[in-house]
Chain A
């Protein structure tokens, strides 16, 4: 499989046309968009460049890749992944909201936002990425939201260290895992709650934070207001939104979202092979990955010199290089790493492409990190369709300048 778009699949969501036409018919000419509706309900401003909606309810929407020409992804253009959608605003009203710290602790705590504001404030730029980002490119297709490239973003998170809060509660010796739960609830009570846990080592890491602000603004409701966890370098499954309950436990959390979902095989598996949960381990660190932000898929270029731009990031390591190929991977040339270079954030890159002749061309990008990880042409198949990091690919039309 050399074309990760798969046969006949383009990045333009073909279904969107039909659905859009229907929506237009139903709304008497104004195209309704779930993101707009969510914005109307939450008081957030609708985005200038709308997100690409995969699921209208609960809202799952990704960022168009051209937004990634910016170092920081704006709050209103940041991807949205919902298991159940945001809790009713009353449930996360700042005045009545509490964070509970319980389980294997010396002193159970119930902290208000005011209590939390008394801890030392820290800020950090970090990539947040859904572990299903790129699922649409796996062959055979894996079940789940068919994210393409944009279930990822880079934002500046401000809050307090989780470690400081846990130390205030005092940990008992048997505490090995931290269970996390937010205020969101399923429509039907028989649906399992979104309960996750992280090993204590990650919980006590000084860079793991309880964030109340995103890119300098209060955390928007769709992104977890008033409080969400940020586990930098890890997939976003543990970045629990609307966080209300921390429970110290001896074991990993029980339940569907820890025991069944968000798990990755601990050995290579054949496509279609169905595995027992014990053959799988929870998704944790991100893998090395790059995206092309400019030019965009399907663009027509009439210049003999094009500045290709993009971003690259990895889990707990450091991006060492990004390479670009314009001949289907036969030869690779090194791109220039530019801009900020800080742990957990993505790195911007540029590549001056001298186009030759005219016709359809494909640009590929491939990142490598200091842990020896290199983006493969195609990622290993796994039942959940997680951790896709195959080289990014953008097709453009080059015309004579």
Chain B
């Protein structure tokens, strides 16, 4: 992954983002900026790939394609027809992203934009609610339904992915958070899709299941 720099961004904000990314990577206590940027459309498309497409297949399948725009349009349309959860705007965003990076002239290695740093992202997005250290099970339920249900089943009872209801990992919050954000085995990493608070909310909801 190489950082793809968009030339129209002001230098200072690029520098701040870079500092935030580096601070985040070093695991040091980071500071929050008042005016962090929204993720770019490329980064939003990468999120869609990780959350909506990865339900059925890993992203390597997408990244090995080299197709012209009309083929990508047909492919994304087919996937929506088959059940990929994308609205019209998301479908267009994703198609543009795929046609931009995975076109017939692209070489064997494609340099992709870096994922936005979680810190910069959180400061810039409406969190929608005050932080809840223990997690909010109600929010967790809807997040679970949107992101986890296809693999882990309706009530966390398992499917392609393991059963989560009463799974021992639910008592190890740190391990749960690491597994969700970084992925494990066949499970894709969700760190670019779900914020730490959202992962905590999902954990809170999973801990309410009793079968």
Contacts and interface: CB of A to CB of B under 8 A. Distances in A.
Are A and B a genuine interacting pair, yes or no? yes
Nearest to A60: B61
Contacts of A18: 1, 109
B60 A56 contact: yes
Interface in B66-86: 66-68, 71, 75, 82-83
Interface string A34-61: 1001000000000000000111111010
Contacts of A54: 60-61, 64
Interface size classification for chain A: 20 to 34
A140 B109 CA distance: 17
A206 interface: no
Pairs of residues from A and B, 7 with the lowest C-beta to C-beta distance, nearest first: A190-B83, A56-B58, A188-B83, A141-B66, A57-B58, A146-B64, A55-B61
Given A8-B108, A55-B57, A85-B160, A187 B189 contact: no
B131 interface: no
B63 interface: yes
For chain B, what secondary structure do more than half of its interface residues adopt (helix, strand, loop), or is it mixed? loop
A145 interface: yes
25 contacts: A9-B108, A10-B108, A14-B108, A19-B60, A26-B182, A26-B183, A26-B184, A32-B185, A34-B186, A54-B60, A55-B57, A140-B104, A141-B65, A143-B65, A143-B71, A143-B75, A145-B61, A145-B64, A146-B64, A187-B55, A187-B56, A187-B151, A190-B82, A191-B83, A192-B82
B150 interface: yes
Interface string B91-121: 0000000000000100111000000000000
A276 interface: no
A143 B64 CA distance: 9
Interface in A13-31: 14-15, 18-19, 26
Interface string A70-91: 0000000000000001000000
Given A37-B185, A141-B104, A190-B82, A55 B58 contact: yes
Nearest to A25: B182
Contacts of A95: none
Contacts of A56: 58, 60, 186
B207 to A, nearest CB: 25
A270 to B, nearest CB: 14
A186 B56 contact: yes
- The listed residue with most A CB atoms (<10 A of its CB), out of B55, B67, B160, is B160
Interface in B154-191: 159-160, 182-186, 188-189
Given A26-B183, A140-B104, A143-B71, A188 B55 contact: yes
Interface string A156-179: 000000000000000000000000
A258 B64 CA distance: 25
Given A57-B58, A187-B151, A272-B68, 14 more contacts: A10-B108, A15-B108, A34-B185, A37-B185, A54-B61, A55-B58, A56-B186, A57-B188, A141-B66, A145-B61, A188-B83, A188-B150, A190-B82, A191-B83
Contacts of A32: 184-185
Interface of B: 1, 55-58, 60-61, 63-68, 71, 75, 82-83, 104, 107-109, 150-151, 159-160, 182-186, 188-189
Contacts of B71: 143
Contacts of A187: 55-56, 150-151, 159-160
B106 to A, nearest CB: 10
Contact of B82 (A37, A53, A191): A191
B56 A26 contact: no
A1 interface: no
Contacts of A10: 108
A92 to B, nearest CB: 15
Contacts of B109: 14-15, 18
A338 interface: no
A19 B109 CA distance: 11
A265 B188 CA distance: 37
Interface in A360-382: none
Interface string A179-202: 000000011111110000000000
A396 to B, nearest CB: 21
A189 to B, nearest CB: 7
Nearest to B72: A143
B41 to A, nearest CB: 23
A87 B160 CA distance: 9
A56 B1 CA distance: 19
Nearest to A17: B109
Contact of A55 (B1, B60, B159, B183): B60
Nearest to A33: B185
Given A56-B60, A146-B64, A8 B82 contact: no
Contacts of B75: 143
Contact of B83 (A34, A145, A189): A189
A64 B109 CA distance: 21
